[in-house]
Amino acid sequence: MQIFREVAQQLSYTRAAEILNLTQPAAFAQVRQLEDHLGHCLIERLGKTLYLTQAGQIVLKAAHRMLEETANLDMALAELRGLARGRLRLAAVSTAKYDIPARIGAFSAAHPGIEVVLTVGNREELLARFLRNADDLYILGTPPEELGAAVERFAENPLVVIAPSDHPLTRKRGLTMRDVARYPFVMRESGSGTRLAAERCFAEAGAVPKVRIELGANEAVKQGVIAGMGLSVLSRGTVALELRHGYLAELDVHPFPIIRHWHVAWPEAKRLSLAAQAFLDGLMGR
């Protein structure tokens, strides 16, 4: 079931085998054995592309449930022995990578037997993983309300306008969105939560930012601003180190800082593993 789930999610025997540290023929043989046992074709090939059959979709849902229950059983029995073990799969938007490692560190110190796997990506990548039920918990700025998610808010995430430390606006106070709109901006890609929040502020002020360049990673945006390519809007946590050492400056712009929040989400119908529940309780201070 584990091998079938990975092949079904990757739609590739080769990629699934690499993830599971198997050979491609071994992964193929296991799926064929499962098909023979169930009496249904689960995966079919059309040209060079693999597709799940209707039976395969049903079995994939069952595989998710069975493997989660197995993981819960392992951890529950381990708890009885006082040797908690298991795996926690987390996915976080790239902006959260500056905050979430410290929380993982605290969790790992309290639960040293739990292996933590963290996947970092942009919002679209996380939503795709959410739809595949690829992880236990998802850390996002804007919760995926349209996907039937259970959501908890656990921390503030203020957004600020940043500039190179020698920019002329760093010496001014009481700036407006129209003031900063006269300067070029370095922005995250369209669809990112930070970009959406920035564009909303400009729209409410009746202004439009001059986007000089779009970059798909916070590190690239920071380096672009430091190099003088333009202003930007980023999470204060993302630029804390650069602000502290004077590489960047936070501008005094109304209505910033915008107080957004970090949210942890998971599918409503999902039964959280013991490890996921423990991590969630830690985030919420329970």
Q: Has residue 26 been placed in a domain? A: yes
Report residue 60: phi and psi, to 5°. -60, -45
H or E stretch including 184? strand 184-188
Report residue 35: phi and psi, to 5°. -60, -45
Instruction: Please give the pLDDT value at position 87.
Output: 83
For 242-266, b/e burial (b = at least 16 CB within 10 A) is bbeeebbbbbbbeebbbebebbbbb
The CATH number given to whatever domain includes residue 220 is 3.40.190.10
Q: CA–CA separation, 125 vs 12, rounded Å?
A: 18
Q: Has residue 140 been placed in a domain? A: no
Q: Has residue 17 been placed in a domain? A: yes
Q: CA–CA separation, 127 vs 104, rounded Å?
A: 21
Q: Has residue 38 been placed in a domain? A: yes
Instruction: Please give the pLDDT value at position 139.
Output: 96
Residue ending a domain, among 65, 94, 115, is 65
Q: Has residue 284 been placed in a domain? A: no
DSSP single-letter state for residue 153:
E
What the block records as the tokens of 111 is 């639960």
What the block records as the tokens of 125 is 């990548």
Please tell me whether residue 234 adopts helix, strand or coil conformation: strand
Instruction: Please give the pLDDT value at position 74.
Output: 74
What the block records as the tokens of 226 is 């430091």
Q: Has residue 206 been placed in a domain? A: yes
Q: Has residue 280 been placed in a domain? A: no
The CATH number given to whatever domain includes residue 34 is 1.10.10.10
CB 78 within 8 A of CB 113: yes
Instruction: Please give the pLDDT value at position 144.
Output: 81
Instruction: Please give the pLDDT value at position 79.
Output: 64
Compute the CA torsion angle 151, 157, 163, 166 (nearest 10 deg).
-160
Domain count of the fold of the chain: 2
Amino acid at 167: H
Q: Has residue 29 been placed in a domain? A: yes
Residue ending a domain, among 23, 43, 65, is 65
Domain that holds residue 45: 1-65
Low pLDDT (below 70) residues in the chain: 75, 78-84
Residues with Cβ within 8 Å of residue 277, at least 6 apart in sequence = none
Residue ending a domain, among 24, 41, 65, is 65
pLDDT digits (tens, 9 = 90+) for 203-247: 999 999 999 999 988 899 999 999 999 999 999 989 999 999 999
